[in-house]
């Protein structure tokens, strides 16, 4: 039997007249992710994307793992096609799932009749095939509530399909269908998670990292590139834009009140992120801020830093607890890299008593000692671009 992969779409199916644009984008992303695993044909019908191997050399397990990281797919099923006849469907289920039945103590059958021309209803098909499977495997009892094995039958336009329990997909929207954003990527736990969450909503990511050598080491920069490499498995192709930030931080240290230094540093980040966003046709800025987590993430502080850009500032983690952020970091594979002991620029020159409720006028007065425009231009001129595609 030749296996096939069935991909169920998520929110894409809710789109109206422009649905084909989302679906085409999703299939293009899936096709690119599948290239390392062999030659596959991809088509879409009735809200299902069909992934069919062209030859026996295809790595089906590798393909499925790659597809689980494609945003826009809610479930993935590895199954087999057969004739749209109840006896053919039974024979296919009996043979294709033989190994699963050998391990199971109970089973149930779930059917979906997408082709309404098929003469049995979903319930009738489940009852018919389930009865025959019960006779074929008498040692496996029927349990419709909590079975070890779920046999899925789908009668669709061109064929019937048999598969076991589907795997959960990444969900969300296909990357690139909702525009492009700059994402501030540090070496910590939060910003990779916020980047991932933004990409899940369909935005293309341009990661920006602020690097303060020699106060932060080359290993710290490599750590961020590694994080971007991990994220590219979800977010697609990315180039990390590394901004030289040393001179800006030294100027802030030498010329500004210590208690305002973190706020002023964050304002520079916003100004530079805005410039990078405009240069790359981005329409938003993503940060890893979580309300009240640190002094620079109070409502007042975020208001002052956000005032340096006219673009929307997207904060996916704003109301999340740290434990939830850590859990998600583990799930997406960034946590172990994030906790490597290399500092980033946010931990350099940390004030002893940072302002938690800064007033805009006071911050602007403190910044008056700096050549803001000149420092931003200098940083922009020194940007290094590093490919981080998985």
Residues facing residue 53 across a β-bridge: 40
Q: How many Å apart are CA 45 and CA 34, to the nearest integer?
A: 19
Which pLDDT does position 296 carry in this prediction?
Answer: 86
Instruction: Outline which parts of the chain fall under CATH 3.30.2130.30.
Output: 3-168
Residue ranges in the chain assigned as alpha helix (H): 19-34, 60-67, 86-96, 98-103, 122-136, 190-200, 218-235, 246-255, 261-279, 299-306, 322-332, 335-338, 360-367, 372-381
Residue 26 pLDDT exceeds 70: yes
Which pLDDT does position 251 carry in this prediction?
Answer: 97
* Cβ proximity of 230 and 388 under 8 Å: no
Across residues 379-386, what is the average pLDDT? 97
Which pLDDT does position 353 carry in this prediction?
Answer: 84
Whole-structure pTM value: 0.91
Inter-residue long-range contacts of 115-123, CB under 8 Å, 24+ positions, other chains counted: 115/84, 115/155, 115/156, 115/157, 118/84, 118/155, 120/86
Instruction: Report the share of the chain in percent with pLDDT over 70.
Output: 99
Which pLDDT does position 280 carry in this prediction?
Answer: 96
Q: How far apart are the first and last CA of the chain?
A: 32
- Structure tokens of 99? 């190994």
Average pLDDT over the chain, rounded to whole? 94
Confidence of residue 45 (pLDDT cuts 50, 70, 90): confident
Instruction: Report the share of the chain in percent with pLDDT over 90.
Output: 87
Q: Range with the lowest mean pLDDT among 42-56, 261-275, 319-333?
A: 42-56
Which pLDDT does position 200 carry in this prediction?
Answer: 97
Which pLDDT does position 352 carry in this prediction?
Answer: 82
Confidence of residue 235 (pLDDT cuts 50, 70, 90): very high
Residue 326 pLDDT exceeds 80: yes
Confidence of residue 1 (pLDDT cuts 50, 70, 90): low
Cβ contacts of 59 within 8 Å, gap of 6 or more: 37, 38
Q: Which of 301, 273, 281 is nearest to 289 (CA)?
A: 301
Q: pLDDT tens for residues 151-172?
A: 999 999 889 999 999 999 999 9
Q: Which of 24, 44, 47 is nearest to 177 (CA)?
A: 24
Which pLDDT does position 124 carry in this prediction?
Answer: 97
Grouping H, G, I as helix, E, B as strand and the rest as coil, residue 266 is helix
Grouping H, G, I as helix, E, B as strand and the rest as coil, residue 305 is helix
Across residues 85-92, what is the average pLDDT? 97
Q: pLDDT tens for residues 112-138?
A: 999 999 999 999 999 999 999 999 999
Residue 355 pLDDT exceeds 80: yes
C-alpha distances (whole Å) from 43 to each of 173, 189, 260 are 18, 38, 56
Q: pLDDT tens for residues 190-220?
A: 999 999 999 999 999 999 999 999 999 899 9
Cβ contacts of 2 within 8 Å, gap of 6 or more: 52, 53, 80, 81
Instruction: Outline which parts of the chain fall under CATH 3.40.50.620.
Output: 180-387
Which pLDDT does position 2 carry in this prediction?
Answer: 80
* Number of other CB atoms surrounding residue 283 within 10 Å: 14
Grouping H, G, I as helix, E, B as strand and the rest as coil, residue 156 is coil
Which pLDDT does position 390 carry in this prediction?
Answer: 65
Q: Token match 């208001």: residue?
A: 303
Confidence of residue 150 (pLDDT cuts 50, 70, 90): very high
Across residues 258-283, what is the average pLDDT? 96
Confidence of residue 328 (pLDDT cuts 50, 70, 90): very high
DSSP string, 19-72: HHHHHHHHHHHHHHHHGGG--EEEEEETTEEEEEESSTT--HHHHHHHHTT-TT
Which pLDDT does position 15 carry in this prediction?
Answer: 84
Confidence of residue 329 (pLDDT cuts 50, 70, 90): very high
* Number of other CB atoms surrounding residue 134 within 10 Å: 14
Residue 384 pLDDT exceeds 90: yes
Confidence of residue 342 (pLDDT cuts 50, 70, 90): confident
H or E stretch covering 374? helix 372-381
Q: pLDDT tens for residues 104-117?
A: 999 999 999 999 99
Residue 346 pLDDT exceeds 80: no
For CA atoms 272, 184, 342, 363, give the dihedral sign: positive
- Structure tokens of 336? 């172990």
* CATH code of the domain made up of 3-168: 3.30.2130.30
Cβ contacts of 218 within 8 Å, gap of 6 or more: none
Residue 52 pLDDT exceeds 70: yes
* CATH code of the domain made up of 180-387: 3.40.50.620
């Amino acid at each position: 039997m030749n296996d096939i992969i069935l991909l169920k779409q998520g929110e894409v199916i809710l789109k109206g007249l422009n649905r084909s644009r989302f679906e085409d984008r999703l299939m293009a992303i899936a096709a690119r992710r599948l290239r390392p695993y062999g030659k596959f044909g991809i088509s879409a019908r009735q809200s299902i994307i069909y992934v069919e191997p062209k030859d026996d050399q295809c790595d089906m397990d590798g393909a499925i793992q790659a597809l689980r990281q494609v945003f826009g797919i809610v479930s993935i099923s590895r199954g087999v096609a057969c004739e749209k006849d109840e006896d053919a469907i039974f024979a296919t289920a009996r043979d294709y799932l033989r190994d699963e039945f050998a391990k199971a103590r109970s089973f149930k059958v779930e059917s979906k009749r997408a082709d309404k021309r098929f003469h049995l209803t979903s319930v009738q098909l489940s009852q018919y095939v389930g009865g025959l499977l019960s006779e074929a495997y008498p040692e496996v009892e029927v349990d419709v509530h909590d079975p070890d094995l779920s046999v899925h039958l789908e009668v669709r336009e061109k064929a019937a399909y048999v598969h076991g329990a589907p795997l959960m997909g990444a969900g969300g929207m296909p990357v690139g269908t909702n525009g492009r954003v700059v994402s501030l990527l540090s070496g910590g736990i939060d910003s990779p998670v916020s980047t991932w969450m933004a990409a899940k909503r369909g935005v293309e990511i341009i990661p920006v990292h602020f690097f303060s050598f020699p106060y932060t080491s080359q290993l710290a920069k490599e750590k961020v590139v590694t994080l971007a490499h991990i994220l590219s498995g979800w977010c697609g192709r990315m180039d990390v834009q590394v901004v030289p930030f040393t001179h800006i931080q030294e100027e802030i240290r030498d010329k500004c009140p210590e208690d305002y230094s973190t706020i002023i540093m964050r304002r520079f980040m916003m100004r530079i992120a805005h410039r990078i966003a405009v240069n790359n046709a981005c329409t938003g800025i993503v940060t890893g801020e979580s309300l009240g987590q640190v002094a620079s993430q109070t409502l007042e502080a975020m208001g002052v830093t956000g005032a340096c850009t006219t673009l929307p500032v997207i904060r996916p983690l704003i109301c999340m607890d740290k434990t939830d952020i850590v859990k998600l970091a583990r799930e997406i594979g960034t946590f172990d890299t994030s906790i490597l002991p290399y500092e980033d620029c946010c931990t350099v020159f940390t004030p002893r008593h940072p302002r938690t409720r800064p007033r805009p006028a006071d911050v602007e007065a403190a910044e008056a000692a700096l050549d803001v425009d000149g420092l931003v231009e200098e940083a922009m001129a020194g940007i290094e671009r590093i490919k981080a595609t998985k």
